[in-house]
Amino acid sequence: MKTINILLLAVLASAVSYSALAVELDLASGISVPVLNGKKVKDDNLDFVEGENQLVFEFAGKLKDNNKRKYYSARPYIVTLDLTGVKTLKVELVSNKLNKIDRSVNKKQPIFEFTIDGKQVEDSQQMLPPAEGVFPYSNVPLLVENYNKERGLVFDSGKVVELKAELAKLEQGEAVSSGERKTTTIAGVTETESTLQLKLWYLKASNEERKNFKRWMIEQD
């Protein structure tokens, strides 16, 4: 095992400043984290946010093969973990046997298990979809970017949210508060990540913020 001491940056919803919490990340031998919250990890510098974090885990190392140990490199997996108030995060393989790990990878089944503050947690890890070509995993950060775009996932105040589902909840809340049926659908406009994000932030804004934003839009014309 190798232990990496990292800083967990807690994002305060009502303030601009950040508070740092010491978190101990315990990775089994051969396991690494190449991407965190859509950004490439450099020099094992993992800056988690307080709340949900999207991580990519890779394994490359030796596993048991009968009486021998053979080198094995697994395809990367992506998972979202809630690290609110966490002190320790331990990451291991579900087995140290090559045949079991290889079988799980071929079936796209989980190969990692996570223990947070001494308690094993449920997760929904998935194999990161590969790119086309000879080297399908040569650019993992780009694969994560495409993965999030295809699913409409964004990072919002310690939450990994699905844009359309979040918009539906906000629209429903507005309809209830006003007593009217409301929708933010724009006729003739294709739903892209950018338009969905714009609508998401607009619905979250206060009336005064919306007025200021409308004035700013007029000034841009």
What is the SS3 assignment for 45?
Answer: coil
Answer whether residue 193 is part of any domain: yes
What is residue 198's predicted lDDT score, i.e. its pLDDT?
64
Share of the chain above pLDDT 90, in %: 49
Are both 13 and 113 inside the same structural domain?
Answer: yes
Residue 187 has pLDDT above 90, yes or no: no
- What tens digit of pLDDT does each residue of 107-123 get? 999 999 999 999 999 99
- CB of 186 within 8 A of CB of 167? no
Answer whether residue 148 is part of any domain: no
Are both 133 and 158 inside the same structural domain?
Answer: no
Are both 162 and 131 inside the same structural domain?
Answer: no
Q: How far is Cα 121 from Cα 221, in angstroms, rounded to an integer?
A: 51
State the residue range of the domain holding 158. Answer: 153-220
Structure-block tokens of residue 205: 């804004």
Residue 95: Cβ within 10 Å count: 15
Answer whether residue 147 is part of any domain: no
Are both 17 and 59 inside the same structural domain?
Answer: yes
- CB of 52 within 8 A of CB of 35? no
Answer whether residue 146 is part of any domain: no
What is the SS3 assignment for 78?
Answer: strand
In the chain, how many domains are there? 2
CA dihedral for 189, 193, 194, 198, sign (positive or negative): positive
- What tens digit of pLDDT does each residue of 14-57 get? 222 333 345 789 999 999 999 999 999 998 888 888 888 999 99
- Among 97, 112, 137, residue at a domain's last position: 137
Structure-block tokens of residue 13: 């919803």
Are both 127 and 201 inside the same structural domain?
Answer: no
Are both 38 and 108 inside the same structural domain?
Answer: yes
- CB of 49 within 8 A of CB of 37? yes
Q: Where are the extended beta strands (E) located within 38-134?
A: 39-40, 48-49, 52-65, 68-73, 77-82, 88-93, 112-116, 119-120, 126-127
- Among 89, 113, 137, residue at a domain's last position: 137
Residue 202 has pLDDT above 80, yes or no: no
What is residue 95's predicted lDDT score, i.e. its pLDDT?
97
The mean pLDDT of 167-184, rounded to a whole number, is 50
What is the SS3 assignment for 47?
Answer: coil
Q: What confidence tier does 190 reach under pLDDT thresholds 50, 70, 90?
A: very low
What is residue 188's predicted lDDT score, i.e. its pLDDT?
38
Are both 124 and 201 inside the same structural domain?
Answer: no
Are both 178 and 110 inside the same structural domain?
Answer: no
Amino acid at 207: N
- CB of 154 within 8 A of CB of 195? no
Are both 86 and 185 inside the same structural domain?
Answer: no
Are both 131 and 178 inside the same structural domain?
Answer: no
- CB of 26 within 8 A of CB of 89? yes
b/e per residue 32-61 (b: at least 16 CB within 10 A): ebbbbbbeebeeeebebbbbbbbbbbbbeb
The mean pLDDT of 1-26, rounded to a whole number, is 44
Are both 12 and 87 inside the same structural domain?
Answer: yes
Are both 160 and 131 inside the same structural domain?
Answer: no
- CB of 91 within 8 A of CB of 31? yes
What is residue 129's predicted lDDT score, i.e. its pLDDT?
95
- Among 137, 171, 200, residue at a domain's last position: 137
Answer whether residue 144 is part of any domain: no
